[in-house]
Amino acid sequence: MFGALRAWQTEPMSAIRGARERARIEVTAAIKDEARKQLAAEGAAKLSLRAVARELGMVSSALYRYFPSRDDLLTALIVDAYDAVGEAAERSHRAATGAAGAPGTGLARWVAVACAVRDWALAHPHEYALIYGSPVPGYTAPQDTVGPAARVGMVLIAIVEDAHRDEGLALPPLPDELRPEAERLAADIAPGLAPAVAAPLVAAWAQLFGLVSFEVFGQFNRVVEAREVFFRQAVTELARTVGLLGRRG
């Protein structure tokens, strides 16, 4: 009898906790959605918890239970944006790798991932600006953002490491004056790669986002018209700087 009573008492409490958790998830999502609207309209520097609460019909004190400060909300939006572009890159990489153990060449996979990053950025320009645009005055990103921020870079590293193992790489020359830094980079981010690859890999990662940023932020206006073709050619050349050959075996 007591067992049945305990089960009766536990089940309603479990249901209540589940309902509360679902409600918290829904409210958190609504807060983020409204904050993203503010980003689009006003920019990250003018993001206001009070304005978000007002638009949602909440009192500020209630919103603070979800995000104690503007910086906490900004961090959540930044992590979401990094995760979203990282997921787009990872999904494209999986698709380009092939479903039956027949991976595409490293070059094809690199270009596919780069195009996925560009597509995401063009579809989400305000979120892209939040993570790759001007720093937000007074905000310092916490350690929580580091892992999500590395997702695209880790995909690019994986492509080059796989190509090194399966296809071989055309190792670029390494100037003597760059060797100490290249060795440090290889040890820190890609221990499976030669220093001669690690340094151009970091440069290619930076140039990839430079190309995307120029397009998202309008620097290509009245300069580059066939932008997709231009982008594909540019990232193909970046792939070659890290030794990708575009062939198997």
Q: How many CA atoms lie within 13 Å of 154's alpha carbon, on the beta-carbon side?
A: 13
Residues 47 and 90 in one domain: no
The C-alpha atoms of residue 64 and residue 49 are separated, in whole angstroms, by 8
Reported pTM: 0.87
Give me the domain span that covers residue 29. Answer: 1-68
Residues 237 and 114 in one domain: yes
Close Cβ partners of 195 (under 8 Å, ≥ 6 residues apart): 174, 179, 182, 183, 185, 186
- pLDDT at residue 16, rounded to an integer: 59
Sequential DSSP letters for 93-157: HHHHH-SSS-PPPHHHHHHHHHHHHHHHHHH-HHHHHHHHSSPPTT----GGGHHHHTHHHHHHH
Query: What CATH number does the domain containing 6 carry?
Result: 1.10.10
Residues 40 and 83 in one domain: no
Last residue of a domain, one of 51, 68, 85: 68
Residues 82 and 185 in one domain: yes
Helix (H, G, I), strand (E, B) or coil at 134: coil
Last residue of a domain, one of 36, 68, 100: 68
CA separation (Å) from 239 to 92, 106, 234?
Answer: 16, 9, 9
- pLDDT at residue 249, rounded to an integer: 45
Query: What CATH number does the domain containing 144 carry?
Result: 1.10.357.10
Residues 229 and 120 in one domain: yes
Residues 128 and 239 in one domain: yes
The C-alpha atoms of residue 98 and residue 74 are separated, in whole angstroms, by 37
Residues 159 and 212 in one domain: yes
- pLDDT at residue 12, rounded to an integer: 66
- pLDDT at residue 247, rounded to an integer: 60
Residues 133 and 164 in one domain: yes
Last residue of a domain, one of 16, 38, 68: 68
Residues 220 and 181 in one domain: yes
- pLDDT at residue 5, rounded to an integer: 42
Residues 102 and 141 in one domain: yes
Residues 101 and 16 in one domain: no
* Count of domains forming the chain: 2
Burial code of 58-89, b = ≥16 C-beta within 10 A, e = fewer?
beeeebeebbeebbebbbbbbbebbebbbebb
The DSSP letter of residue 103 is P
Sequential DSSP letters for 39-59: HHHH-GGG--HHHHHHHHT--
Residues 110 and 212 in one domain: yes
Close Cβ partners of 170 (under 8 Å, ≥ 6 residues apart): 240, 243, 244, 245
- Give the residues of the chain that fall short of pLDDT 70: 1-19, 99-104, 246-249
